[in-house]
A = this chain, B = another copy of it.
């Protein structure tokens, strides 16, 4: 049986091998990825983001558990050096995750470095595509919501959940600074802590402000209070995820097509740029005396902006 058939049948070892080969830039792995693509597009991808310490991993754990109890299969992409999935967290968290590691219905993949796709976002998209082709019903993508990389990755999701905790002023600020725009569902986790109502209300107010600006026929973001560790509020959140999935598929998937079109475009552009970086850029640099040019820049005889403009102008000229 070929590797594509193996992965489609959910073969864990074949899948793990493919992901490792993709990481290492194996060109055959990329061919397999192409062969798997026709079988993608079925999974529902859920992004879970928020600052370190808000309890994303615990929430993800409970979500996996909920989905498994419904008989659904789950893929997890953990993009976070501090996540228990990627091995960076305290022992307790890691042990709690082990129960899923031995569950054939769950496949967990952690990403902490750029890999051969030239960026965490492209690597995460590739992993999502593999898990999707593998037949996973849900794919949970957990990221630390700080850098632009993380925002981009969450943007690959169909449903995006922004997790915060009471009283984290910084966190609300971070949400203001860009993450609010991408959240479909907001979670105030550790809601037994002081200030939970205040954070909840702040989020509602921000959503109201955004709704006034946005079109009225879209999705209205919702806010949930959870105590993930005790599973409190998790079923309600899961119900909202299912509702959001239904919303996206309404009217023949009109909303889904609407949100996916620009993302697909971005995915293609990122791949083209990476291809240019891998195969065109070395040829451009071979045409100039790079060491001499760098020496001239270091000595301030020229500058990187001028040299760059010359190289790009030369390429444009050769395109005719």
Contacting residue for A147 out of B147, B257, B279, CB 8 A: B147
Interface mask (A19-60 → B, CB under 8 Å = 1, otherwise 0): 000000000001001100111110000000001110000000
A264 to B307, CA, bound (A): 12
CB-defined contacts of A53 to chain B, threshold 8 Å? 170
The reply on A284 being an interface residue by CB < 8 A is: yes
7 CB-based A-B contacts, threshold 8 Å: A37-B303, A82-B177, A268-B294, A272-B281, A273-B273, A273-B277, A275-B309
The reply on A214 being an interface residue by CB < 8 A is: no
Contacting residue for A174 out of B37, B82, B90, B261, CB 8 A: B82
Residue of B nearest to A302 (CB): B37
Copy tally for this chain in the complex stands at: 2
- Chain A contacts with B in 275-289, Cβ cutoff 8 A: 275-277, 279-281, 283-285
B148 touches A146 (CB 8 A): no
The reply on A320 being an interface residue by CB < 8 A is: yes
Using a CB–CB cutoff of 8 Å, the interface residues on chain A facing chain B are 30, 33-34, 37-41, 51-53, 81-82, 88-90, 112-114, 120, 144, 146-150, 169-170, 173-174, 176-178, 257, 260-261, 264-265, 267-269, 271-277, 279-281, 283-285, 290, 293-294, 297-298, 300, 303-309, 311-312, 315-316, 318-320
A88 touches B52 (CB 8 A): no
CB-defined contacts of A38 to chain B, threshold 8 Å? 300, 303
CB-defined contacts of A318 to chain B, threshold 8 Å? 318-320
B304 touches A264 (CB 8 A): yes
A308 touches B268 (CB 8 A): yes
CB-defined contacts of A90 to chain B, threshold 8 Å? 169
- A167: shortest Cβ distance to chain B, in Å? 12
Given the known interface contacts A150-B147, A294-B264, A298-B261, the answer about A283 and B82 at a Cβ–Cβ threshold of 8 Å is: no
